[in-house]
Amino acid sequence: MKKIFTLTLLLFTVVLTAQETEETTEEKSFTISGSVDAYYQTYLSAPDDAGASFGTAFADQTGFAIGMGNIIASYESGKVGAVLDLVTGPRGAGATFSNDIVDGIVNQAYAYWNVSESTTLTMGRFNTFLGYEVIAPAANFNYSTSYLFSSGPFSHVGLKADFALSEDFSLMLAVMNPWDTNNTSFTGEYSFGAQLGYSGQYLNLYYDSGNNGGLGFEVDYTGGFDLSDSFFLGINAAYNDNDGSGFYGAALYPQLATSDDFSIGLRGEYFALHGDDDGVDYPSVLGLTLTGSYSVDSNLIIKPEFRLDSLTDADGGIYGNVIDNDGEAASSLSAFTVAAIYSF
């Protein structure tokens, strides 16, 4: 009987050890993901060789061009993990403020600790929490980007804490280097961020001193609503102030899914600069971007896009150089773009 009990206990111990080993193995995970995109763009209201630009980030070349390629490596073991996101190409260089468009560039690099089921600490370089749009085109409905997205920070280097307060409420608090500082804070200054979320709606706050090219203060709302099973309305609004000057604007993103493979969406955006100077007519822009999204399969998306931006009420201009097809100065710019985006 003693031998049988000993053998039974030994077998039970082996089973428990195997289960613990299996559970430990299941808790560790390593994944690779990313995307590649390219596009063709031609201006409809200006010659392609006129050097015209919408004044927003990325997708500013004519003819055939590449956007970016990125590879995201993620590793998690138990309660801790790390993410390394490398990008290359003009879009990646623009997002990281680098002149090198060939070699790999660090877009994100951070480690995190799930302190509890409701609290996560993250330290390193991570993409911004401000705004409706993001750097990677695979996660945006429109291929070109908005003025609100282009005017805010792209990424931060610092420490943030995410709290799941309930099933509906979330809170994020962060201390970071100043606006878009890729490495260290040479001036001894820091920025602060906060995000309060409720059921997919987010109120974002950001502050730095505004010195040395800083952003100053910005309040930003990002959210959206499913108005039906096939119709979604996204919303973004922001106000920025940096020692009496800055920008403000709002954008609506209605999107309609006409089938399982095709959706069509419009970005309607109003964006303006402001300041304390009396008598200055600050420029504003009304931008309309109509985008189609066709899924060839789960990985490849084709996006045809028409964009028309009109500059109003301006002594100067947001555009560097805008002319019409007759070579005359113009206050609007239109373009047709078709992009291919592959995600893996």
CB 178 within 8 A of CB 190: yes
Q: Could you give the count of Cα atoms lying within 13 Å of 252 in the half-sphere of its Cβ?
A: 6
Domain around 317:
2-343
The top-scoring range by mean pLDDT among 21-30, 269-278, 290-299 is: 290-299
**CA dist., res. 173 & res. 207, Å (int):** 12
Tokens of 103: 């070699």
* Mean per-residue pLDDT, 129-138: 96
**CA dist., res. 24 & res. 41, Å (int):** 50
How many domains does one find in the chain?
A: 1
CATH code at position 16: 2.40.160.10
Tell me, what's the pLDDT at 276?
A: 80
- H or E segment to which residue 10 belongs: helix 2-27
Tell me, what's the pLDDT at 283?
A: 82
Tokens of 173: 């608090």
Using DSSP, state whether 209 is helix, strand or coil. Answer: coil
With a cut of 50, say whether residue 24 has pLDDT above it: no
* Mean per-residue pLDDT, 142-160: 95
With a cut of 50, say whether residue 18 has pLDDT above it: no
Question: What is the radius of gyration, based on Cα positions, of the chain?
Answer: 24
* Mean per-residue pLDDT, 43-56: 85
How confident is the model over 198-237, as pLDDT tens digits? 999 999 999 998 877 788 999 999 999 999 999 999 999 9
Average pLDDT, the chain: 87
Q: How long, in residues, is the chain?
A: 344
